[in-house]
Amino acid sequence: MAAGQKFYSTQGAELSCASCHTNSPKLEGKHAKTNKAVEPIAPSVNPKRFSDAAIVKKWFRRNCNDVLKRTCSAQERSAL
């Protein structure tokens, strides 16, 4: 869990997951560039958040590329 929290908070030179999802994944966030609302990422407050594998795969691919400038590894995805 600590590795996932560290990854969520500090990865990337310009952005981290928390840049858009806030420091608490239970809160609504805001996209760092577009200011569009981002629903909470925590399944405890947003049960449908990880319910569609195709959508999860799409967003991991896009967001990892934005934050890390590469695809997240399976280990990184599982830490989150």
Domains and CATH numbers, the chain: 2-79 (1.10.760.10)
Number of Cβ atoms within 10 Å of the Cβ of 52: 10
Report pLDDT for 48.
Answer: 92
* Structure tokens belonging to residue 6: 């560290």
Task: Using pLDDT thresholds of 50, 70 and 90, give the confidence band for residue 28.
Answer: very high
Q: Is the pLDDT at 37 greater than 70, yes or no?
A: yes
* Structure tokens belonging to residue 37: 């609302």
Q: List helix spans (H) across 1-80.
A: 2-10, 17-21, 53-68, 74-79
Average pLDDT over residues 54-79: 86
Report pLDDT for 4.
Answer: 78
pTM: 0.75
* Structure tokens belonging to residue 5: 């929290």
C-alpha span between 40 and 48 (Å, rounded): 10
